[in-house]
Chain A
Amino acid sequence: MTRPPHDRLIEAAVRCYPTRWRDRHGDEAIELAALLVRDGTSGVSVAWSYLRGAAREQLVVRPTRRLGATVAALLVGAALIGLPLVLLDSLTPASADSSNEVIASISNRNDAAGQLESVFKLHHFNVGLEEVPSSPSQVGSILAVRPSAAVAGEKAVLREMPGPCAGGAPGCIDAIALPSRYPGSAEVLVGRPAKAGEAYFGSPNLFGPGQMLHCSGLLGKTVSTALPTLRGLHVNVVWDVGHSRRGGATTPSGSLYVVGGNALSATSVSIHVSSKTSANHDDEISRRRRC
């Protein structure tokens, strides 16, 4: 007996879901589709609904890494079904994943602490939240997770999940996974906009993704080469000569090399200089590949 074409379409759409989802819902989803089609629902619309659901699911699991694959699956699916691309709407990442874990994730940077706090309270986790001043790219991201020192091994069970920073650069933490019956306590620090002159929490790497001098090409250059760019930033520069901060506000010798730096606040940075270019130069070369 020949199977109707929409059967294959629906099965193809269900295969777009992650394995974990298919293990949980796959058989029921196929049966449900058959019942809906029997009741008069179009097989194409059922397949399309699954395809959109699969796209959302993939985006939730790893918003950045799987975006390409998700979009590709959607395009293939849309082409198969023959629907116009203008219908590719509402791909909104939601929260949470996995059966034995609770994933507290941030989807709205303006309400990051509120979103995490809602989930922690709902599950009665003894996890506190603190908002700390951060650089613009880290606003709305998790900057630190501090489990209670009394319980050994807690850090290992609180899994930080990487995601994009504000502005889209990689390298931030936008979710945390906890065992669904997490008995310990912890404190989660979330970035908020710093006020004028307020020191950034943790003094992030000035050359890291999303930071002021990421991809600036200044690492490994001499001070004299870097000075015009640094002056153009209109920030106070604290010179750190050989990691001793001997230089302070005084510009060091122009022949020294820039080997690192930290963002101290919106108006202040520290620049590390040395007589050797150091291994950080190699680090910068690898970072530039993501520029």
Chain B
Amino acid sequence: MSVRGREPEGDIGRAVLHRAGEASVLILTSLADSPKHGYALILDVKEFAGLQLGPGTLYGALDRLENLGLIEALPADNRRHPYRITSAGAMALRDHLDSLDRVSAVGRLRLALGGV
């Protein structure tokens, strides 16, 4: 029998977000500055990422993120349920973006070295 070694805390959020998928990253990024409901999220993501999230994808990702404790629902405003990012969600997003920064830097460097 073997007991698993402990992962550093930062790796947890990154691993969770990696598994949660790209839509989850876009949603967390959108919620990073303020709470939003579904329609506002779709408009915001379209504006900053140029991608239109399908509504089915949106609700699936919202449920996953909420169950993972990365976002939380606020009291409903009529039919609309706004969501806000939690501290765990902010930490997971920050870790994920840091790792993307590293990949981006390496990619640009290698493109330059390769003269592509």
Q: Which residues of A contact B (CB under 8 A)?
A: 13, 21, 24-25, 27-29, 31-33, 35-36, 41, 45-46, 48-54, 56-57, 94-98, 102-103, 107, 113-115, 117-119, 121-123, 128-133, 192, 201
Contact = CB atoms under 8 A, between A and B. Distances in A.
Given A54-B56, A118-B7, A131-B1, 14 more contacts: A29-B55, A31-B80, A48-B54, A49-B57, A50-B56, A52-B56, A53-B59, A57-B60, A96-B64, A118-B15, A118-B19, A119-B16, A122-B12, A131-B2
Interface residues of B, number: 33
Interface of B: 1-4, 7, 9, 12-13, 15-16, 19-21, 37-39, 42, 52, 54-57, 59-60, 63-64, 67-69, 79-81, 88
Contacts of B88: 122
B55 A36 contact: yes
A138 B58 CA distance: 34
Q: Is the interface of B mostly helix, strand, loop or mixed?
A: helix
A130 B54 CA distance: 39
B38 A130 contact: no
Nearest to A41: B52
Contacts of A31: 39, 79-80
Contact of B79 (A27, A51, A128): A27
B55 A46 contact: yes
Contacts of A25: 59, 81
A53 B57 contact: yes
Contacts of B1: 130-133, 201
Nearest to B62: A25
A51 B16 CA distance: 25
Nearest to B59: A25
A32 B57 contact: no
Contacts of B16: 118-119, 122
A187 to B, nearest CB: 10
A56 B54 CA distance: 13
B4 A117 contact: yes
Max chain A Cβ within 10 angstroms of own Cβ: one of B3, B42, B55, B60:
B55
Contacts of B69: 102, 122-123
